[in-house]
Amino acid sequence: MSTLTKVFVLLLAVSSIALSMLVVGAFARQQDWKQSATDWRQTALYSATKEGQVSANAQLQHQRDFDQHQRDVEQIARFKADKLDLNTELDESSRTLTDLRNKLALEQATVVTLSDASRLAAASHGRTEDRAEMLSRRNSELELRNVDLNDRVEELSSQMLMAAMQVRALQQQITAIAESRDSVARGLRPATQIPGGPGIVEARTPLVRSGSVPGMAVPIRGEITDVVGNIASISVGSTDGVAPGMTFLVYRRQDDKAQYLGTLRVDRVEANQSVGTIETSVGFIQPGDSARDEASFAMRY
């Protein structure tokens, strides 16, 4: 209870007492003075008691209000301290969140950069693979063309060798004929005659065949005659030297170039044709494509 309230209560009590005294005085004029005095004392005692109770209650209420005020002040101080702590934590959380957002932005930029680099690398790898495949096919075509050229050189070399041997045989026959003529001139008879020509010495040099020249690998060449799925037949057979298990290289000639198409392994052999399985294929194999045995291709080295 405030001081103003106490003063007001005190004034009210004094006023009540004064008013009571006036009333008692007025009343005493009419009645007996003693009775009025007794009543006045009782009234004064009651008023004093009431005033004491009011004052005590006022002091008790004031003490209660003061204690509550102290508790409120302490609670407000705690709230302020808690608010300060919360503001500090909020600031730290805000800084942490900002740092995390910056890191996230950097990570996202890094991911985008790596993704772009990965796409570029994939595209470059794809182009490299295409280039490698094209070079591989070109290499196969060049190898087949080189094989054909080597075969042609081997055939020409074989023909030149056979021609040289035939020239030597003819020279020997010419020498023998000259010796025979000299013997005839001297009256001598030749020891050996060639049938159908008396006096001519038979040449002792054997005939040379293209397939019997030492060191020459004779390739087996044919064509694809039919293709059903991965089964294909070729136009050469046992009479050409084909045996089961042999592998043929399949290629196609276009504008004096050889395009490698795949390999064929022979499973069944007949006199003039063979049937096999297409083991590898880098192109569409069809009837009319050329085939050559892989063994003679490898022997060129």
**pLDDT at position 32, please?**
64
Distances from the Cα of 187 to the Cα of 49, 173, 192, 219, angstroms? 197, 20, 15, 53
Placement of tokens 């008691």 in the chain: 49
**pLDDT at position 60, please?**
87
**pLDDT at position 214, please?**
41
Residue 238: both structure tokens together: 């046992």
4-29 tens-digit pLDDT: 787 888 888 888 888 888 877 776 67
Q: In a 3-state reduction of DSSP, which class is residue 15?
A: helix
Largest CA distance in the chain: 221
Contact 47, 17 (CB under 8 A): yes
**pLDDT at position 194, please?**
38
**pLDDT at position 245, please?**
94
Query: Nearest Cα to 235, choosing from 290, 297, 296, 298?
Result: 290
Query: Nearest Cα to 233, choosing from 273, 289, 271?
Result: 273
Structural domains of the chain, with CATH: 217-301 (2.40.10.410)
**pLDDT at position 8, please?**
81
**pLDDT at position 299, please?**
59
As a whole number of Å, the CA-based R_g of the chain is 66
Q: Spell out, as residue ranges, where the chain has pLDDT lower than 50.
A: 189-216, 301
Helical segments of the chain, H only: 3-30, 33-185, 294-299
Report the C-alpha gap between 246 and 242 in whole angstroms: 7
Distances from the Cα of 160 to the Cα of 163, 167, 205, 216, 299, angstroms? 5, 10, 17, 13, 21
Report the C-alpha gap between 6 and 59 in whole angstroms: 9
Query: Nearest Cα to 14, choosing from 35, 37, 44, 56?
Result: 44
Between helix 3-30 and helix 33-185 the angle, nearest 10°, is: 160
**pLDDT at position 209, please?**
37
**pLDDT at position 142, please?**
78
